[in-house]
Structure 1
Amino acid sequence: MPINYQELQPQIHTLGEHAVQREHSLRERREQVLRLLQQAAAQPQRLRERIELAALQDPRLRCAAPAAEGLTLHRPPPHSDQPRTLLAADGSQIPPDRHAAVEFALLNVGLIEMHPQEAAAPQEHITTLLLADDEDHPTGAPLTEEAVENRRDILERQVLARRAAQLPGPVVALTDGPLELFRETGQPELRQYLDELRSLARLSVITAGYVEILKAQLVVRALELLILAEDELSRAAQLRPLFGVDDGDLFRGLLDVGERSAVFALQSNRAQSYKDELALHFFYLNVGRPHQPYLARVEIPAWVAQEPASVDLLHAALLAQCSLLGSRPYPYILQRAHEVAVVRFEEAEQVLLMLQRELLSRGLDPGSLSNKLYHKQMSHKRTRYGR
């Protein structure tokens, strides 16, 4: 049935009225957040103590924490050379499907290599990995989509480390999304992921995860702790006195075009697995244009965060890359890696045919897709797998 527009119209009108009231309240909260940031910049140790106390009482707390730089720092574009080599890896996957004729998963990672100081065209490298079961699971459990995505993140770091080991430094290596694994992981997966990060650390690779932020609240969540009562800290992860205000609201007004924020540490229960040189940090970067700010969160490990020259080199490289895509800034090399990694449906169908032929050649039943999947494919034809 069609939408009842006559019934919907007064609801839209009410929503508009509430939006005006909400914007007025948000404006006051944004001003309060800015004042809290100024207070915290003058007394960073007090903020650190509040974060430590709240995290002890509520391990679910996830927020920013002061690091070495002043909290109100806004560093202009550095006068830094481009790195000798710039790498980016992005992955795509065919998830396991129990309705398919043969249940399998596939990872495809595209690696782009650029030498900014030279005129050579970018180089493309592709790594493809077929997965048929969960080899890390002690009982041989079937693959889940979540496990495949974790393996993709591991493989992205593997191909970066493998290529970086063959190159002279300095090397900047980018991936799309956070460095921290958010999905549920088994201990073998997490250990393998951390081992790949350590490989990059041993090579002194300037590695970073590029995150387009829309509603991140890491710094705001930390500042909220300054206005919570002592007996409220045990519920710090739940209480939101500044609800509706995000880090973008704060830093769009603080960072001019090309500027970055201070480097912050990351406080979270999951982040405790990332210790010593792997400890997670981040900064915000305005990659927009005059009167059109656009913020990204750049996640970096401690071995990068503790080297100002490395942060400057990363800062300069990201600005140069984002400038290549015009009014929709995003690192060009990451976009290229994504384009290379994408798996199209006809390619997935070809892999399935290859698997079926292999099974037939060995006298095994190649299987057939379920009736449900057959009708689903007949009614809706997609063209490619996305991340």
Structure 2
Amino acid sequence: GSLPPERTALALVDGPLRILGVEEFPAWGARLDLAMDELRELKVPVAGYTSYPGGKEVTGLLRLALCPRDPPDCPSCDGRPCEEIDGVPDRALFAVVLGEGERSPLFGSEEVSFFYLNTGWEVAKVEVPPWVAEDPALLELVHACVLDQVRKGRGYPVALSEAHELAVIKGRERERFYRMVEEAMVRGGMRAERSMKGMSKRRLGT
């Protein structure tokens, strides 16, 4: 789609929307939920972008649809028709189905929905929360903004690339971090060692 000039704000996350293991850190989970609620109030859509996704959710559904048995009984099935797509990732399917710039229908659950997008470089997976999935205008905005970002980044969203650059820990900051860890280990009665490779990299400031 084309970018609407009046609304181009998008909160884009690298990878899945839900952080694996966040349930073990309630404080962080609460902060993430609060941020999501604030973005929802502001009508700013949120999306998670996964490059080269390996999921098989859609092809898994196709395997069930091809199964001649109800319920499926793989061990007793002779000449299984589902074998043709066994192990095929969703991205391979949608690389054939979608034209450049097109997205798939929405899939997902009550917690998160997703679609596949043919960016022209690859088929990426884009996740959105339910309140974005239920709003056609916000969903179209996500589609348009993500596609625009990928084109500007020549294959990968430029905003995520720049965020990665900003997130890199510089040499001086890394050295300070290592010293803090070493001091904590010494206080705990543990021996702190550094590899020669690591020391060499720190001397070079890389």
What corresponds to 1:287 in structure 2?
119
Which has a greater percent of helix?
2
Instruction: Find out whether 1:339 has 2:165 as its counterpart.
Output: yes
- Given the alignment, which residue of 120, 136, 152 partners 1:308? 136
Distance 2:178 2:28 in 1: 30
- Is this contact kept in 2: 1:280–1:299, CA < 8 A? yes
Matched, 1:244 2:113: no
Structure 1 residue aligned with 2:70: 230
Against the structure 1 CA distance between its residues 217 and 83, is the aligned structure 2 distance closer, same or farther, given a 3 Å change threshold? farther
TM superposition shift of 1:199 = 3.0
Q: 1:200 to 1:331 in 2, by over 3 A?
A: same
Give the alignment's Cα RMSD to 1 decimal.
3.3
Structure-1 separation of matches of 2:60 and 2:149: 30
Q: Paired residue for 2:196? A: 378
CA distance in 2, matches of 1:300, 1:349: 38
Structure 2 unaligned blocks of 5 or more: 76-81
Change (3 A) 1:186 1:244: same
Q: Tell me how far apart the structure 2 counterparts of residues 177 and 83 of structure 1 sit (CA, whole Å).
A: 27
Aligned to 2:35: 196
User: 1:125-140 maps to which residues of 2 (within 5 A)?
Assistant: none
Change (3 A) 1:83 1:206: farther
**1:230 and 1:191, CA in 2 relative to 1: closer, same or farther beyond 3 A?**
farther
Higher RCO by CA contacts (8 Å cutoff, separation 6 or greater): 1
How high is the TM-score relative to the length of structure 2? Answer: 0.76
Deviation, 1:244, is: 2.4
How far did 1:198 drift? 2.6
Question: 2:60 is matched by which residue type in structure 1?
Answer: R
The answer to whether the Cα contact below 8 Å between 2:64 and 2:72 also exists between their aligned partners in 1 is no
Q: What are the superposed Cα offsets for residues 29-62 of structure 1, whole Å, 9 maximum, x if unpaired? A: xxxxxxxxxxxxxxxxxxxxxxxxxxxxxxxxxx
Q: How many pairs are equivalent?
A: 192
What residue is the counterpart of 1:81 in the other structure? 4
Q: In the TM superposition, what are the counterparts of 1:264-275 in structure 2 within 5 Å?
A: 264-266=107-109, 275=110
How does 1:1-387 map onto structure 2 within 5 Å?
78-82=1-5, 84=7, 171-183=9-21, 185-186=23-24, 188=26, 191-192=29-30, 193-228=32-67, 229-232=69-72, 241=83, 242-266=85-109, 275=110, 279-288=111-120, 293-326=121-154, 329-351=155-177, 353=179, 370-371=191-192, 373-374=193-194, 377-380=195-198, 381-382=200-201
From the two aligned structures, give the one with the greater strand fraction: 1
- Corresponding residue number in structure 2 for 1:18: none
| SS of equivalent to 1:232 | coil
Alpha-carbon deviation of 1:350?
2.1
Q: Is the 8 A contact 1:83 1:313 kept in 2?
A: no
Match of 1:102 in 2: none
Q: 1:347 to 1:79 in 2, by over 3 A?
A: closer
1:122-168: CA deviations, max 9, x gaps?
xxxxxxxxxxxxxxxxxxxxxxxxxxxxxxxxxxxxxxxxxxxxxxx
Distance 1:341 1:316 in 2: 26
Q: State the TM-score, normalizing by the size of structure 1.
A: 0.43
